[in-house]
Amino acid sequence: MPVPPVPLTDVVRASPLFTRADLTAAGLPVDRVRARDVRRVTHGVHRRTADSLGSWSALGYGEAPSPLCPEETAAVVEASGGVASHLTALLLHGIPLPPFLTEDGTVHVSRPHARGASRRQEVTSHARTVPARDVDVLHGVRVTGLERTWADLAALVRPGLIEPVVAAGDAVVRQPWTPGGRAPARTTTAALRAALVRAGRFKGVRTARSALELVRVGADSPPETALRLALVHAGLPEPELQLVLHPGRARSPDADMGWRAWRLVIHYDGEHHRDPAQAAVDAWRNEGWARAGWAQIWATSEDAQDGFRRVVAKVREHRDRRGGRVFVCP
């Protein structure tokens, strides 16, 4: 009759994850990891098969930022001798990504490595040094800080593709809307610049530098960033973001962007603007701008799919109708 495996109670008392050294310290044979009630998490790290796993959704994530549960992700990073970075860090920090970047079934880590980048079953390694100042701990996982993570995004896109990096930068410096007004931003462009300097030379550094020059406070979504960039790339003056009709009033119509000199504003009305409550707010907003004599252009997701060409044409048409005349604004 087979002898049942020695209980692991003492080994997992402090943590559900354990190493062969933990087994030895508890007086158990190291080949205990070969039993059916134990599974491998990563090289040198194991846990009991019957354990309940931690949940990313319980931590507020709609989609898991790692193929492993939180505590296993932390263990993989610790065992690698590095810090979670790149795609894993971007997802952990909730930084918006382009559609072609999705969780790829591995935990991305940065660590000094003479042979450069490498990949094995559950880990993608990037041969990068991360200063202690650029390391945070998030849900128990050692991870690159927000600013360094933004810079590393530039290494994951093709050279010169700056729009996703600008959109990510806009997202981390934006001041989120709350019922009580705008909340403080997660970081600043100055902090992004400092982290980029500390990162030194790396694949994508030129893309990151170019993108940083276009990062602005005021875009509430990646489509708004894409709209602003489309206007600028078309040769139009850069619009003012989060433009308010009456800045001195407690409540005033506002717009995503616009030009006071032309009395023209643009609203990007995404999917949530179809909500009846939001539609009522939008109607009040639109009427306010109209009563003040301002022209308005409404952009939608359909425009985004077309590179906002219709919106660019509408802005040019309004500008040309004015024949160079501008309003003098106080």
- State pLDDT tens for residues 260-315: 999 999 999 877 767 787 889 899 999 999 999 999 999 999 999 999 999 999 99
| Separation in Å, CA 183 to CA 161, 173, 176, 186, 270 | 30, 11, 5, 9, 21
Digit-coded pLDDT (tens) for 55-78:
999 999 999 999 999 999 999 999
Let me know the angle formed at the C-alpha of 294 by 221 and 173, rounded to the nearest 5 degrees. 25
What is the percent of the chain with per-residue pLDDT over 90, rounded to a whole number?
A: 71
Q: What is the pLDDT of residue 59?
A: 97
Q: Name the maximum alpha-carbon separation found in the chain.
A: 96
Residue 327 has pLDDT above 60, yes or no: yes
DSSP string for residues in 239-268: PEEEEESSTTSSS--EEEEEEGGGTEEEEE
Q: What is the pLDDT of residue 47?
A: 92
Strand locations in 128-251, DSSP E?
Answer: 135-138, 141-144, 177-178, 181-182, 240-244
Determine the Cα–Cα distance for residues 62 and 271; give it in Å rounded to an integer: 18
End-to-end CA distance of the chain: 92
CATH of domain 222-322: 3.40.960.10
| Separation in Å, CA 306 to CA 202, 230, 260 | 33, 11, 26
Q: What is the pLDDT of residue 10?
A: 76
What's the average model confidence in pLDDT over 80-107? 95
Mean of all residue pLDDT scores within the chain? 91
Digit-coded pLDDT (tens) for 38-56:
999 988 899 999 989 999 9
**Of the ranges 75-89, 91-105, 115-129, 166-180, which one carries the lowest mean pLDDT score?**
115-129
Higher per-residue confidence, 147 vs 178 = 147
pTM summary value: 0.90
Q: How confident is the model at residue 2 (pLDDT cuts 50, 70, 90)?
A: very low
Q: What is the pLDDT of residue 119?
A: 63
Residue 210 has pLDDT above 50, yes or no: yes
**Of the ranges 16-25, 210-219, 270-279, which one carries the lowest mean pLDDT score?**
270-279
Let me know the angle formed at the C-alpha of 83 by 81 and 88, rounded to the nearest 5 degrees. 130
Pair of tokens at residue 87: 């795609």
| β 123-127/118-119 pair status | antiparallel
Higher per-residue confidence, 269 vs 229 = 229
Q: How confident is the model at residue 121 (pLDDT cuts 50, 70, 90)?
A: confident
Q: How confident is the model at residue 116 (pLDDT cuts 50, 70, 90)?
A: low
Q: What is the pLDDT of residue 147?
A: 98
Q: What is the pLDDT of residue 6?
A: 72
Residue 1 has pLDDT above 60, yes or no: no
Q: What is the pLDDT of residue 242?
A: 95
Residue 330 has pLDDT above 80, yes or no: no
Pair of tokens at residue 222: 């990646």
**Domain extents for the chain?**
1-52, 62-212, 222-322
What is the percent of the chain with per-residue pLDDT over 70, rounded to a whole number?
A: 94
Q: What is the pLDDT of residue 266?
A: 98
Q: What is the pLDDT of residue 275?
A: 79
- Compute how many other C-beta atoms are within 10 angstroms of the C-beta atom of residue 77: 27
